[in-house]
Amino acid sequence: MKNLIEFLDLGLQPLANNYQKKSQKKKKEKKYKLKILFDKKSKLVSIKDTFSSKMMFNNKYPYRSSMSSTMLSSFKKLSNEIKKIYKPKKILEIGSNDGSFLRNFSKDITIGIEPCSNIEKITKKKGYDTYAEYWGKKLAKKLVKKYQNVDLIYSANTITHIKNLDHVFRSILLILSKNGKLIIEDPSLLNCLKNNTYDQFYNEHIYVFSLIALENVISKYNLQVFKVQNLEVHGGSTRYFIKRKSSKIKIENSVKQQRNKEIKFGLDKIKTYKSFSKRVINNKKKLIKIFNILKAKDKKIIGYGATAKSTTILNYCNIKNDYISYFLDTTKDKQNKLLPGTKIPIVKYQGGIPKKIDFVFLGAWNFKKEIFKKEKKFILNGGKFIIHTPVPKII
Ligand code: JHZ
């Protein structure tokens, strides 16, 4: 514990994906401290107070990865690369959500793990082998019995959501073949710090990985990163290709390049995190100022994309329904509900931003390109967006 240094306090926050029913508008919601830690020894960044997987990932989980065409094409591109380069006989996906990745492969070579049964059943109904269970040793052993070892494991935005990394990697070792590859991707800590995207921190993101921290974590399981890809998705993600140390797969230059970039930026030093924290506090003041100016002018503001990330920003900055009238979102399970903490209503996206709206707070800023393309008409008519990264501004 003595290695852990707290560098950021994001105040009291509700559970990010716990969208409230309209009938709960007046009900006091439980909030928890959101503080962020840096481990001086392993360089791992994590949140201080955590919740059980069951509390966060259950049969009411709303998030669907297929809601963005950017994500669908990113999964497709990776799938084509996997088919061409690695030609796996069996692929296991940990955290397969609604099957957006798995659906690029034939049913007989895939296994999906998705503990949120309301989402898991979407892929199951399409005929894929999926298990509504939490990743762990018990499940890994069951799968080995049924399918034997797998030669490729993929996991996007999931490993960082599981507190016990020791259990995660030891379970992976039970099923990954000798020369198997483990590909994991998550938002990049380097991008988070560079772009001041403090909203990457919420209860589900127990860790935000850097390569240097991940290498420290996996080394004790005799695992090694052999290739790194930087992606634009989710505001800048890093995809790590991992192998057993004993496997002869060549270690590519991209690993050294990424390590050097991270060291150059100072991801191994606490002072980097302390100055990030100062920027976050400044950005909070700037964002509140923007909202106050627009409110004083009686401008009509709505939100776009009721993301888990929005919950962190708006609760931290105390921006509620008196500033943002409602959020538009394409996700069925979020519509007609309230954004956690701030209780801003979420309305079904019906194509286009209504004419009378002056400003749109971009909750899904990570899909800015995709959204701007879709909302050309609003922009051409003089509509503006409010974005909080890298500094709060109107665009
Ligand atoms: P999006 C979730 O975070 C939770 P969130 C989780 N913890 C995680 O790590 C990431 O995903 C991967 C909507 N939308 O992807 C759909 C539109 O309405 O940024 C979504 O509700 N119109 C697992 O919630 C939200 O925005 C659009 O055109 O921060 C996007 O959520 C588009 C593109 C999206 O993840």
26-36 confidence digits (pLDDT tens): 889 999 999 99
- Residue 136, pLDDT > 80, answer yes
Q: For residue 106, how many other CB atoms are within 10 A of its CB? A: 8
pLDDT at position 26: 86
Separation of alpha carbons 119 and 134, rounded Å: 14
Tell me the pTM: 0.96
Widest Cα–Cα separation across the chain: 65
Q: What is the number of the ligand 1 atom nearest to the C-alpha of 157?
A: 9
The residue count of the chain comes to: 395
Mean pLDDT of 19-32: 92
CB 113 within 8 A of CB 139: yes
User: pLDDT for 365-390, tens place per residue?
Assistant: 999 999 999 999 999 999 999 999 99
- Percent of the chain whose predicted confidence (pLDDT) is above 70: 100
3-class SS at 72? helix
- Residue 210, pLDDT > 90, answer yes
Mean pLDDT of 314-343: 97
Q: Is there an atom of ligand 1 within 6 Å of 114 CB?
A: no
Calculate how far, in angstroms, residue 233's C-alpha sits from the geometric centre of ligand 1. 11
Q: What is the number of the ligand 1 atom nearest to the C-alpha of 187?
A: 9
Could you tell me where the DSSP H helices lie in 266-358? 270-296, 308-316
End-to-end C-alpha distance for the chain, whole angstroms: 43
Calculate how far, in angstroms, residue 81's C-alpha sits from the geometric centre of ligand 1. 25
Calculate how far, in angstroms, residue 17's C-alpha sits from the geometric centre of ligand 1. 10
Angle CA(370)–CA(372)–CA(377) in degrees, nearest 5? 130
**Residue 285 confidence class, pLDDT cut points 50, 70, 90:** very high
Question: Residue 267's closest CA among 340, 205, 208, 313?
Answer: 208
* Matching residue, tokens 């971009």: 362
Mean pLDDT of 119-136: 97
pLDDT at position 114: 98
**Residue 2 confidence class, pLDDT cut points 50, 70, 90:** confident
Could you tell me where the DSSP H helices lie in the chain? 53-56, 69-81, 117-125, 137-147, 165-175, 189-194, 211-219, 253-265, 270-296, 308-316, 368-374, 376-380
